[in-house]
Structure 1
Amino acid sequence: MILQTPKAMYGRVVGSLLLALPSCWCWAQSLSGNLNALSAYQTAGKNWHTASAVSVRLSKPSLFELEKGEGILIADPGKSTENGLISLSSYGDIRLTFDFMTTAGAKATIYLNGIYPYILADNWGQVKSSDQSNGAIPGRAPRQLINRAPGLWQHLTLSFRAPRLDASGKVTEQAILLNATLDGVLIHENVQWPVNNGREPTKATGPIRIDPTSGSIAFRNIQALPLASGGNQERLENDVDPILVQATSNTTLRSFMDIPSQRVVHCLSAGSAEQVHYSYDLDNGYLFQVWRGGFLDATPMWHDRGDGSSSVLGSAVFLGKPLPALAKLDNETSPWPQDSAGSGFFNKGYIIDDQDRPQFKYRLHGQLVSDAIKALPDGTGLSRTISLAHPTEGWYVLLAKSAVISEQSKGIYLINGQEYYIKLGAENTEKAVIRDAPGGKELLIPIQSTIQYSLIF
Structure 2
Amino acid sequence: MVLRSKNNFIGRSLRIGFLCACGAGFAFSQASAQSQLPLQDFSSFKNAGKSWQIVGDVNTEQGKENSFKTTGGTGILVNQPTKKAHGEDLFFNLEHGDIDLELEYMMAAGANSGIYLQGRYELQLLDSWGTVAPKPGDNGGIYERWDDSKPEGQKGYQGYAPRQNASKAPGLWQKLRVSFQAPRFDASGKKISNAKMLRVELNGVLIHENIELSGPTRGAVGGNEVAAGPLRIQGDHGAVAFRNIIIKQYDKARPELSALQYKAYKGRYSRDTDYSKAKAEATGTSNLLTANASHLSQEYTLVYKGTLNVKEAGEYQLEMAVQGGNGFIIVDGKPVRNRVTLPAGNVPVEIIYSRTGDWGNPTLGLNIAGPGVRSFYIGDVITPDDTDPIILSANTNTILRSFIDVPGSQKITHAVSVGSPLKVNYTYDLDHGMLVQVWRGEFLETTPMWHERGNGTSRPMGALQRLGKPFFQLGKLAGEQAAWTADSTGSGYRPKGYVLDEQDRPTFKYQVYGASVNDQVRVSEDGHGIVREISVTNAPSDLYAKLAEGAQIESIGKDLYLVDGKAYFLQVQDAGGAKPLVRESAGVKELIVPVRGKLSYSILF
TM-score if structure 2 supplies the norm length?
0.70
**Which of residues 182, 188, 211 is equivalent to 1:162?**
182
Change (3 A) 1:181 1:37: farther
**Which of residues 204, 216, 225 is equivalent to 2:239?**
216
Alignment of 1:37-56 (within 5 A): 37-56=41-60
**Which of residues 517, 520, 524 is equivalent to 1:369?**
517
- Asked if the contact 2:419–2:425 (Cα under 8 Å) also holds between the matched residues in 1, the reply is yes
Question: 2: CA distance between counterparts of 1:18 and 1:431?
Answer: 49
| 1:354 maps onto 2:502 in alignment | yes
Question: 1: CA distance between counterparts of 2:374 and 2:513?
Answer: 60
Question: 2: CA distance between counterparts of 1:114 and 1:184?
Answer: 25
* SS in structure 2 of the partner of residue 301 of structure 1: helix
Query: Unpaired segments of 5 or more residues in structure 1?
Result: 5-15
Q: Which residue of the partner structure matches residue 3 of structure 2? A: 3
**Which of residues 50, 73, 76 is equivalent to 1:69?**
73
Q: CA deviation at 1:78?
A: 3.6
Alignment of 1:397-408 (within 5 A): 397-408=545-556
Residues 377-409 of structure 1, C-alpha deviations (whole Å, 9 max, x = no match): 011110000111224421111011111111111
Radius of gyration: which is bigger? 2
Q: Which residue of the partner structure matches residue 266 of structure 2? A: none
Question: 2: CA distance between counterparts of 1:151 and 1:269?
Answer: 27
Q: CA deviation at 1:236?
A: 8.4
Question: 2: CA distance between counterparts of 1:236 and 1:455?
Answer: 43
- Asked if the contact 1:171–1:201 (Cα under 8 Å) also holds between the matched residues in 2, the reply is no
One-letter code aligned to 2:93:
L
Q: Which residue of the partner structure matches residue 8 of structure 1? A: none
Identity of aligned residues (%): 40
Alignment of 1:227-376 (within 5 A): 227=250, 229=254, 231=374, 233-234=376-377, 237-261=384-408, 262-376=410-524
Change (3 A) 1:392 1:33: closer
Q: Which residue of the partner structure matches residue 128 of structure 2? A: 123
Question: 1: CA distance between counterparts of 2:28 and 2:580?
Answer: 50
- Asked if the contact 1:32–1:89 (Cα under 8 Å) also holds between the matched residues in 2, the reply is no
Q: Which residue of the partner structure matches residue 9 of structure 1? A: none
Residues 251-308 of structure 1, C-alpha deviations (whole Å, 9 max, x = no match): 1100000111221111000111221111111001011111101110011111111110
Q: CA deviation at 1:449?
A: 0.7
Question: 2: CA distance between counterparts of 1:208 and 1:36?
Answer: 19
**Which of residues 160, 166, 169 is equivalent to 1:146?**
166
Question: 1: CA distance between counterparts of 2:481 and 2:2?
Answer: 49
Q: CA deviation at 1:2?
A: 5.8
Change (3 A) 1:191 1:23: closer
**Which of residues 179, 191, 206 is equivalent to 2:211?**
191
* SS in structure 1 of the partner of residue 448 of structure 2: helix
- Asked if the contact 2:126–2:139 (Cα under 8 Å) also holds between the matched residues in 1, the reply is yes
- Asked if the contact 2:37–2:244 (Cα under 8 Å) also holds between the matched residues in 1, the reply is no
Q: Which residue of the partner structure matches residue 104 of structure 2? A: 99
| 1:206 maps onto 2:353 in alignment | no
Query: Unpaired segments of 5 or more residues in structure 2?
Result: 13-22, 145-158, 255-372
Does 1 or 2 have the higher relative contact order (CA < 8 Å, sep 6+)?
A: 1
Q: CA deviation at 1:59?
A: 4.3
- Asked if the contact 2:444–2:459 (Cα under 8 Å) also holds between the matched residues in 1, the reply is yes
Q: Which residue of the partner structure matches residue 334 of structure 2? A: none
Question: 1: CA distance between counterparts of 2:88 and 2:204?
Answer: 29
One-letter code aligned to 2:591:
L
Change (3 A) 1:149 1:352: same
- Asked if the contact 1:359–1:373 (Cα under 8 Å) also holds between the matched residues in 2, the reply is yes
Question: 2: CA distance between counterparts of 1:76 and 1:82?
Answer: 7
Question: 2: CA distance between counterparts of 1:167 and 1:135?
Answer: 34
Question: 2: CA distance between counterparts of 1:215 and 1:23?
Answer: 32
* SS in structure 2 of the partner of residue 49 of structure 1: strand
Q: Which residue of the partner structure matches residue 438 of structure 1? A: 586
Change (3 A) 1:345 1:427: closer
One-letter code aligned to 1:456:
L
Change (3 A) 1:403 1:131: same
Q: CA deviation at 1:113?
A: 1.1
Alignment length (residue pairs): 446
One-letter code aligned to 2:237:
S
For the aligned residue pairs, the C-alpha RMSD in angstroms reads 2.3
Change (3 A) 1:32 1:382: closer
Q: Which residue of the partner structure matches residue 7 of structure 1? A: none
- Asked if the contact 1:412–1:424 (Cα under 8 Å) also holds between the matched residues in 2, the reply is yes
Q: CA deviation at 1:240?
A: 1.5
Change (3 A) 1:301 1:251: same
Change (3 A) 1:3 1:385: same
Alignment of 1:409-448 (within 5 A): 409-426=557-574, 428-448=576-596
* SS in structure 2 of the partner of residue 300 of structure 1: helix
Question: 1: CA distance between counterparts of 2:469 and 2:598?
Answer: 24
Q: CA deviation at 1:428?
A: 3.7
Question: 2: CA distance between counterparts of 1:417 and 1:244?
Answer: 32
